[in-house]
Amino acid sequence: MSYRWNFNDPNDASSSTLPNPTHRFSAIGPFPIQLIVRSNNNCVDSSTKIISSIYPQPKANFNTSATEICVNDAVQFTDLSDGKTSAIATWSWNFSAGNTASIQNPSQLFRDSGLVQVALHIFNAQGCVSDTALKTITVYPYPKLDLGPDLKVLQNGQASLKPLFVYGTGLRYLWTPSTYLDADTAAIPISKPLVDITYQLALSNQGGCTVKDEIFIEVLKAPQVPNAFSPNGDGVNDTWRIPYLDTYPGATVDVFNRYGQKVFSSLGYATEWTGKLNGKALPVGTYYYVINPKNGLEIMSGSVTIVY
């Protein structure tokens, strides 16, 4: 026998010649379904039945707490689907990379950067499956930042705050505090510090993902060399104290008498001169010094007088 099925679907005029066909209806009906059967002797019969229990397709939809996030951030998903003729019975979420969920309003953590397509389809209580709702989440990586080692700058000098390493796209810079800086949003600002200071850089990319690092600037003040001291043991000015010279650990200090004989020599100035030579007190008089800071400052020379 041969078969001809007419489904009378207003949006799909296709028919079938299979004995047991399937058809996806595009409207809710009712539909008169007709089967015409013809034998090999050309005998014909037909039958018509009405199918009325065809339900409208549910509609999947959802909202997201964010569409642009940073790596390892979570997004909250809110179901807005419509089961049409019955309540929603099943939710099927797909967050890519094998991550799924079956609750109504899930939260998902995204560990990899890139464009992630999130899909949702539902089934209502009558077993009808919805279309698939799709939305894209943009996951940005964090930029990379290393400000490098701390800096030293001479008094009244300046330093360029150039990061040792930065990586990212659409980078934005914010230096805090802005004190002594020529610009707090520059990639390489210039600092003219008057005192020691610590700067923090907040580096953000186009997704607003931010990393931070700090750098310390030590201001090397010029040594203040006194022109006299009195090593008499009274506890006042007993040594030749030179403020700020201790910040120049490679400095050399040489002191000579008026005959050119070296009476004191030091690499660095961890131990202050007591006005003695080989353990014996030097006489009252004027002596001459040469100090080489060896850190960008010019060699300093002058006289110092020992008084009692």
Q: Name every residue whose Cβ is closer than 8 Å to that of residue 153 and which is 6 or more positions away in sequence.
A: 159, 191, 193, 217, 218, 219, 220
Q: Name every residue whose Cβ is closer than 8 Å to that of residue 301 and which is 6 or more positions away in sequence.
A: 288, 289, 290, 291
3-class DSSP state for residue 186? coil
Enumerate the H helices of the chain as residue ranges: none
Please name the amino acid found at residue 55: Y
What's the pLDDT at 283? Answer: 95
| Residue 207 DSSP symbol | T
What's the pLDDT at 37? Answer: 97
| Residue 245 DSSP symbol | G
Contact 207, 140 (CB under 8 A): yes
What's the pLDDT at 249? Answer: 86
Please name the amino acid found at residue 262: K
Pairing of strands 300-306, 228-229: parallel
As to burial, measured by CB atoms within 10 angstroms (0-12 exposed, 13-18 middle, 19+ buried), residue 290 is middle
Closest CA to 193 of 157, 229, 239, 230: 157
Q: What is the mean pLDDT of each run of 10 residues along the chain (308 residues)?
A: 94 93 87 95 95 90 97 98 96 96 98 96 96 97 97 91 96 98 97 97 96 96 94 93 90 96 94 94 96 88 95
